[in-house]
Homo-oligomer: A and B are copies of this chain.
Amino acid sequence: MKNGKAVREACRSGVWHAPTSGLAAGFVQANLVMLPRDWAYDFLLFCQRNPKPCPLLEVLDAGNPVPRFTAREADLRTDLPGYRIWENGELIAKPQDVLNYWREDLVSFLIGCSFTFENALLEAGLPVRHIEQQRNVPMYRTNIACESAGRFHGSLVVSMRPMLPEQAIQATRICARFPRAHGVPIHFGDPSTIGISDIHQPDFGDAVEVRASEVPVFWACGVTPQVALASAKPPFAITHKPGYMFLTDWTDADLAKLE
C-alpha cells in the first residue's frame, strides 16, 4: 500500500486488520483517543503537559469523526485496523470499526507515533528489529510518572528498538527532527533503570530479539494515554489497538514543516 489513503481504504473495507508498522512508508501515523466532551479538557491538558508521549497532531471538534487537517477524506470510526472500547477504565470490546459505538459528544485526539520516524531510521540503514521480524513493536510500562492533568495521571509507556551504541547515537540525531513523533529516545541500556523487569516480556506488542553488543533503546510511546485512561476511568472511551495506527495524508516532510 503506497500511501495513507490506501491503508485507510484497506481498513475500512475490512481487508487489513494487522499492525501498521512499515506500511505506506513516509506517511505519518497516529495514535487515536476518543473521549466524551466533558473529559476532553483534562485530556488535552494531559497531552500539553506530556508532549513526548502525547505529541498532538490534531484534535477534532466534538461529534466530528472527519479530520480537518491530517486526512480530509478519512473517517476515524472505520479507517483504523483495530479499536479498543473502554468503560470506566475497563477494556470491554475490541471491534474492527466503531460505527456502533460512536457518540455525538466524542472528541477525537490524534497523537504522533514512532512508526513515523522508523522510515527515516531504515533509510539511514539503521535496524528496526520488529519490522525485520514482522512483529508488532514491543512496548513496556515504566516507573516514570507522567505530569498529571485533572483526572488523568499514570506512568510513561515506552517502545523499544535494539541497536548498537553507534546506531543509537545516529537514531537520536535522526529522531530529533521529529518532535511530533516522540522525538529523541528517553533512555537506552539497563531496562531496570526505568522500571522494566524483563525485556523479553513486553506489556504491549511482541518481544523482539536483542543481539550481542546491542542495547535496548527506549522512546516515549503513544500507548501512554491508554494507561492514563485506565487510571482516570472515564465512563466511555475509544482508542486504537496498540500498534494498529491511523494513517494520515501527511508526509514526514509535512510534519517537519510544523516546527
Contact = CB atoms under 8 A, between A and B. Distances in A.
Interface of A: 40-41, 44-45, 48-49, 51, 56, 59, 61, 68-69, 147, 150, 176, 179, 183, 258-259
Given A44-B41, A44-B44, A48-B44, A179 B259 contact: yes
A66 to B, nearest CB: 15
21 contacts: A40-B41, A41-B41, A41-B44, A44-B44, A44-B45, A44-B48, A45-B59, A48-B48, A48-B56, A48-B59, A49-B59, A49-B69, A51-B258, A61-B150, A68-B147, A69-B147, A176-B259, A179-B179, A179-B259, A183-B259, A259-B259
A96 to B, nearest CB: 30
Q: How many copies does the complex hold?
A: 2
Contacts of A179: 179, 259
Contacts of A56: 48
A138 to B, nearest CB: 25
A6 to B, nearest CB: 27
A116 B95 CA distance: 48
A98 B196 CA distance: 48
A227 to B, nearest CB: 21
A179 B259 CA distance: 6
Contacts of A51: 258
A176 B176 CA distance: 12
Contacts of A183: 259
Given A49-B69, A176-B259, 4 more contacts: A41-B44, A48-B56, A49-B59, A179-B259
